[in-house]
């Protein structure tokens, strides 16, 4: 038995924050942000809008695209670093909003690689016979964990959600997934704050050693892509689309170069979305599915990396 992605959906909050808007908040410029990252604008969740609200719309669109009923879903996995509350899980809140009580629902926390962790989890549940129809979601409101006075981080991220429905199938849609983590790098990208005795202890905003993250990401993503292709005896030339985590255009370009992939085979949503963490891969996937770039039979290479460090890749036949 295999798992096949049968529908995708996504949602972006209405409010757009451009690089020029940001230059009124901190000492930055459109030129600096565009040249260093490739980002031109990002979306911001409205006050009161929660991660589960973003996840709900993306899920409803994925369920509709899949042509199934919400009640067919027997597993919900939400990848998020910005849950509505500490608990219950955003997956349980989403389940309640979808009106499908009873099925398994839980969150995974692997920051920007979260969607790949959710995909691998659902794929394994389906192949083990524990699920027939799974909903996986990457949803984030990173704008709430950013220090809006820190120009080195606040310009990089945006809010959004993407979702996919996977169904048991005789043919392999998800060919392989490969996950990695290295906890020795917890310090280069983190939100160190925690809650203790009714108060936030430590900084509740994102901290990052940008150049160290850049260096680590370039190497890990290249290695992960080469490793999963070699394990499946699939050549680089067979990849129709690379759908990478959207953190920085220079990271994406360097991975594509290492794989000898022209940028015309890489889905890039970074200029419009910024880095939406766990939502970035499903947002890019849904964009390319809906605009017709991804076609039936295409071989997709998904890859992502984020705090932890945690990273991974997946090969998917569309
Ligand atoms: N506007 C203007 N100037 C800025 C800004 C800004 N927004 N941010 C930093 N600068 C300044 C710095 O203060 C520094 O000034 P100085 O030389 O006077 O000290 C100068 O620009 C260069 O700073 P660097 O950090 O060396 O710039 P770099 O070329 O490394 O680019 C960046 C920074 C874009 C963060 C890059 O390191 C990067 O993309 N790293 C990867 C980080 C990433 O993708 N994080 C996302 C989360 S992790 C993930 O998703 C994988």
Assess whether 184 and 162 both reside in one domain: no
Q: Which atom of ligand 1 is nearest to the CA of 112?
A: 50
Among 211, 276, 278, 283, residue to substitute to test ligand 1 (most atoms within 8 Å of Cβ): 211
Residue 34: φ, ψ to 5°: -65, -45
How many angstroms separate the CA atoms of 35 and 23, rounded? 15
Assess whether 54 and 110 both reside in one domain: yes
What predicted TM-score, i.e. pTM, was given to this entire model? 0.96
How many angstroms separate the CA atoms of 113 and 274, rounded? 15
Assess whether 208 and 186 both reside in one domain: yes
For residue 55, the domain's CATH number is 3.40.47.10
What is the structure's pLDDT at 172? 87
- Does residue 275 line the site of ligand 1, with CB under 6 A? yes
Structural domain that includes position 148: 2-170
Residue 197: φ, ψ to 5°: 50, 45
Residue 68: CB atoms within 10 A of its CB come to: 17
What is the structure's pLDDT at 261? 94
How many angstroms separate the CA atoms of 65 and 290, rounded? 10
Whether 220 and 304 have beta carbons less than 8 Å apart is answered as no
Among 152, 190, 278, residue to substitute to test ligand 1 (most atoms within 8 Å of Cβ): 152
- Does residue 304 line the site of ligand 1, with CB under 6 A? no
Cα–Cα distances in Å, from 317 out to 28, 112, 294? 42, 23, 10
Q: How many domains does the chain have?
A: 2
- Does residue 36 line the site of ligand 1, with CB under 6 A? yes
Protein residue with its CA nearest to atom 35 in ligand 1: 210
Among 36, 142, 281, residue to substitute to test ligand 1 (most atoms within 8 Å of Cβ): 36
How many angstroms separate the CA atoms of 140 and 191, rounded? 14
Protein residue with its CA nearest to atom 2 in ligand 1: 28
Question: From the CA of 163, how far away is ligand 1's center (Å)?
Answer: 30
Question: From the CA of 211, how far away is ligand 1's center (Å)?
Answer: 7
Q: Give the full edge-to-edge strand order of the sheet including 174-181.
A: 174-181, 310-317, 299-306, 241-244
Assess whether 26 and 159 both reside in one domain: yes
* Radius of gyration for the alpha carbons in the chain, expressed in angstroms and rounded: 18
Q: Please return the burial class of 152, using the count of CB atoms within 10 Å of its CB with bins 0-12, 13-18 and 19+.
A: middle
How many angstroms separate the CA atoms of 95 and 54, rounded? 13
- Does residue 206 line the site of ligand 1, with CB under 6 A? no
Protein residue with its CA nearest to atom 20 in ligand 1: 152
Assess whether 271 and 295 both reside in one domain: yes
How many angstroms separate the CA atoms of 248 and 232, rounded? 28
Assess whether 259 and 245 both reside in one domain: yes
How many angstroms separate the CA atoms of 133 and 251, rounded? 34
Whether 16 and 41 have beta carbons less than 8 Å apart is answered as yes
Please list the rounded mean pLDDT of every run of 10 residues in the chain (318 residues).
96 98 97 96 97 98 98 98 97 98 98 98 98 98 97 97 97 95 96 92 95 93 94 96 96 92 97 98 98 97 96 97
- Does residue 154 line the site of ligand 1, with CB under 6 A? no
Assess whether 285 and 258 both reside in one domain: yes
What is the structure's pLDDT at 85? 96
């Amino acid at each position: 038995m295999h798992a096949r992605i049968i529908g995708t959906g996504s949602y972006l909050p209405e409010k757009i924050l451009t690089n020029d808007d940001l230059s009124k908040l901190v000492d930055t410029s459109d030129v600096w942000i565009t040249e260093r990252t490739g980002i031109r604008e990002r979306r911001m969740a409205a006050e009161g809008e929660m991660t589960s609200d973003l996840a709900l719309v993306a899920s409803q669109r994925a369920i509709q695209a899949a042509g199934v009923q919400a009640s067919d879903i027997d597993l919900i996995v939400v990848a998020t670093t910005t849950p509505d509350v500490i608990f219950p899980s955003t997956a349980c809140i989403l389940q309640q909003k979808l009106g499908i009580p009873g099925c398994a629902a839980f969150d995974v926390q692997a920051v920007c690689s979260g969607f790949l962790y959710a995909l691998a989890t659902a794929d394994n549940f389906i192949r083990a016979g524990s699920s027939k129809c799974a909903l996986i979601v990457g949803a984030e409101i990173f704008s709430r964990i950013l220090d809006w006075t820190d120009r080195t981080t606040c310009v990089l991220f945006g809010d959004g959600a993407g979702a996919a429905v996977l169904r048991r199938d005789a043919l392999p849609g998800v060919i392989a997934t490969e996950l990695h983590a290295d906890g020795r790098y917890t310090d280069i990208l983190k939100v160190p704050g925690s809650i203790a005795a009714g108060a936030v202890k430590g900084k509740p905003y994102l901290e990052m050693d940008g150049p160290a993250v850049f260096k680590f990401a370039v190497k890990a993503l290249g290695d992960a892509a080469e490793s999963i292709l070699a394990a499946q005896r699939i050549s680089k030339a067979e990849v129709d689309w690379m759908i990478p985590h959207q953190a920085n255009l220079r990271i994406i370009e360097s991975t594509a170069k290492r794989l000898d992939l022209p940028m015309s085979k890489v889905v890039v949503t970074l200029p419009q979305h910024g880095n939406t963490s766990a939502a970035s891969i499903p947002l890019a996937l849904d964009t390319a599915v809906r605009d017709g770039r991804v076609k039936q039979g295409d071989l997709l290479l998904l890859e992502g990396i984020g705090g932890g460090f945690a990273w991974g890749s997946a090969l998917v036949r569309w």
